[in-house]
C-alpha cells in the first residue's frame, strides 16, 4: 500500500492556468507538508498543516493555496501559473511535531509541474 | 538565517570505495537531523539523529551527529552502483515541524 500518494505525477500546463495537486496519506499522521524542489534539487518547505490547521506558511506567493479537507489529505491549488512555478512538488507527512521519536517525514512520489 | 550545508556537492567513486558525506548546520533550537536518499523520485528516509556521538547503522550505511561542532557525517562502505543517488541532509528545529534541507550531495558510483 502506498503510504503517501500524490496525483497527478506529471502536469504540463500553460502560463496563466489554474491547477491543483492532490496528496493523501494513509499512515494516520497528524501533520502534512508541501515542499518545492527546484531544478537544482533544492527542497524547500512551502506549507505545513497539523490536524487540518495551517501551522507553517513560508514566503510563498498567495497564488498558492493549500487546502486540507481532513487530516489525511492536503491539496495544493495554484492560480495563474507562471514559468517559475515549474518544479517538482513533494507532499510529506509525519506523526506529531511534539514527539521527536515519531517525527520522521515520509515523502510522496512528487508531482513534476512544467509550465509552458 | 537557519541553514544546512552539505559537502561535497558531488562525488564520483568506484564500486568498493568508502565515502563520507558531510552536513553542517546553523539553526536555532535544534531538534533532530535526518538523512534521506533520493534517487529518481521521493526522498527515502535513512536515519534520524538526535544525540551526539551515537552511531546509527544500517547495513553498509552509518551516520553520527556532533551537536557541539554542529555537523553530521554519513558513511557508506563498499559502495555499489545502487548507492548512486542524491543524499539529502535535513534539520528539524524545536520551534516548527518542517525540515530545512541542504542542497544535497550527488553520489555517482562507477562499476
Q: What is the mean pLDDT of residues B49-71?
A: 92
pLDDT beyond 80 at A1: no
CA–CA separation, B100 and B1 (whole Å): 11
| Cβ contacts from A onto B, under 8 A | 61
CA–CA separation, A11 and A102 (whole Å): 32
Nearest CA in chain A to B46: A104
A40 — pLDDT class (breaks 50, 70, 90): confident
Q: What pLDDT does residue A100 have?
A: 58
Residues on chain B touching A50 (C-beta within 8 angstroms): 97
pLDDT beyond 60 at A38: yes
Nearest CA in chain A to B37: A107
> pLDDT higher for B67 or A97?
B67
> pLDDT higher for A114 or A38?
A114
Instruction: Please provide the average confidence, as pLDDT, over all residues in chain B.
Output: 92
Q: Cα distance from B111 to chain A (closest Cα, Å)? A: 25
Residues on chain B touching A44 (C-beta within 8 angstroms): 101
Beta carbons of B96 and A50 less than 8 Å apart: no
Which residues are within 8 A (CB) of B69 and not within 5 positions of it... i.e. 6 or more apart?
Answer: none
pLDDT beyond 70 at A2: no
Q: What pLDDT does residue B99 have?
A: 83
pLDDT digits (tens, 9 = 90+) for A63-109: 999 999 988 999 999 999 999 999 999 999 988 655 555 668 899 99
Query: Read out DSSP for B58-96?
Result: ETTEEEEEETTTTEEEEEE-S--GGG-EEEEEEEEETT-
pLDDT beyond 70 at B66: yes
pLDDT beyond 90 at B6: yes
pLDDT beyond 60 at B22: yes
pLDDT beyond 90 at A6: yes
- With H, G, I as helix, E, B as strand and everything else as coil, classify residue B33: strand
CA distances from B86 to A48, A50, B101 (A): 24, 29, 12
Q: What pLDDT does residue A116 have?
A: 95
Nearest CA in chain B to A109: B42
Angle at CA of residue A58, ends B101 and B23, nearest 5°: 15
Q: Cα distance from A76 to chain B (closest Cα, Å)? A: 17
Contact A67, A5 (CB under 8 A): no
Report which of A41, A40, A65, A39 is spatially closest to residue A54, judged by C-alpha positions: A65
Q: What pLDDT does residue A78 have?
A: 95
Q: What pLDDT does residue A49 have?
A: 84
Put simply, whether B58 touches A (Cβ < 8 Å) is no
CA–CA separation, B65 and B68 (whole Å): 9
Put simply, whether B88 touches A (Cβ < 8 Å) is yes
Rounded percentage of chain A residues whose pLDDT exceeds 90? 56
pLDDT beyond 60 at A3: yes
Put simply, whether B99 touches A (Cβ < 8 Å) is yes
Amino acid at each position: 500500500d502506498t503510504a503517501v500518494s500524490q496525483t497527478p505525477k506529471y502536469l504540463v500546463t500553460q502560463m496563466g492556468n489554474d491547477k491543483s495537486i492532490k496528496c493523501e496519506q494513509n499512515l494516520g499522521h497528524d501533520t502534512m507538508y508541501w515542499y518545492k524542489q527546484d531544478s537544482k534539487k533544492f527542497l524547500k518547505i512551502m506549507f505545513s498543516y497539523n490536524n487540518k490547521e495551517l501551522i507553517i506558511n513560508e514566503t510563498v506567493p498567495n497564488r498558492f493555496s493549500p487546502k486540507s479537507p481532513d487530516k489525511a489529505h492536503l491539496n495544493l491549488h495554484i492560480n495563474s501559473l507562471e514559468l517559475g512555478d515549474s518544479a517538482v512538488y513533494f507532499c510529506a507527512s509525519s506523526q506529531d511535531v511534539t514527539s521527536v521519536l515519531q517525527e520522521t517525514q515520509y515523502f510522496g512520489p512528487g508531482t513534476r509541474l512544467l509550465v509552458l | 538565517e537557519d541553514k544546512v550545508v552539505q559537502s561535497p556537492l558531488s562525488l564520483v567513486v568506484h564500486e568498493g570505495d568508502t565515502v563520507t558525506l558531510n552536513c553542517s548546520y546553523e539553526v536555532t533550537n535544534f531538534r533532530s537531523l535526518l538523512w534521506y536518499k533520493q534517487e529518481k523520485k521521493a526522498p527515502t528516509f535513512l536515519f534520524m539523529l538526535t544525540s551526539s556521538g551515537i552511531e546509527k547503522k544500517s547495513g553498509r550505511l552509518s551516520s553520527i551527529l556532533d551537536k557541539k561542532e554542529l555537523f553530521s557525517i554519513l558513511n557508506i562502505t563498499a559502495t555499489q552502483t545502487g548507492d548512486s543517488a542524491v543524499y539529502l541532509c535535513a534539520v528539524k528545529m524545536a520551534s516548527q515541524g518542517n525540515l530545512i534541507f541542504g542542497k544535497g550531495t550527488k553520489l555517482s558510483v562507477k562499476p
